[in-house]
Structure formats: structure tokens, C-alpha cells
Structure 1
């Protein structure tokens, strides 16, 4: 592995944690949207008079 300057190590460290944070936000956001759409379908099913 080539020698990196200390500034490059800091940039790599920040890039790594930014990627981890971004992926966790994306996963949280998709789960939030999924659960909201799931709860909306449950509400429409409860409003239905017929038990089909």
C-alpha cells in the first residue's frame, strides 16, 4: 500500500464515515416510506365495508 500524507488519511476517514452515514440515511428513508405506504393500505382496508 502506498504511503499517504496525513491529510489524505483524514480525507479517507471523512469519506468513509460520510458514506456510512449516507447509506444509513438511505436505508432509514426507504424503511420510513415503506412503513408509511403499508399503514396507508391498512387504513383503506379498514374503511372497506365488505370483508373480501
Structure 2
């Protein structure tokens, strides 16, 4: 492995954890959107129980 300066190691460390965080947020967001689309179709078919 080539010799890297400490600044480059810090940059690679930050870049790696930023990528991990972004991927996990994207996975969470896609699961959330799927859950919302499933529940929204169920709630549309329910009758309104409020009288106003």
C-alpha cells in the first residue's frame, strides 16, 4: 500500500463513513417510502368517521 500523508488518511476515513451514512440513509428512505405508499392506499379506502 502506498505511503499516504496523515491528511489523506483522515480524508479517506471521512469519505468512507460519509459514503456509509449516505447509503444507509438511502436504504432507510426507500423502505420508508414503500411503507408510506402501502399504508396510504389502505387509508384512502376507509370511510371518514368524523362528521365534519
Q: Which runs of 4+ in 1 moved over 6 A?
A: none
Q: Which runs of 5+ in 2 are unaligned?
A: 48-52
Q: How does 1:1-52 map to 2 (within 5 A)?
A: 1-46=1-46
1:15 positional shift: 0.1
Name the TM-score, length of structure 1 as normaliser.
0.79
Length, aligned pairs only: 47
User: Which stretch of the first structure deviates more once superposed, 23-32 or 37-46?
Assistant: 37-46
CA RMSD of aligned residues (A): 1.2
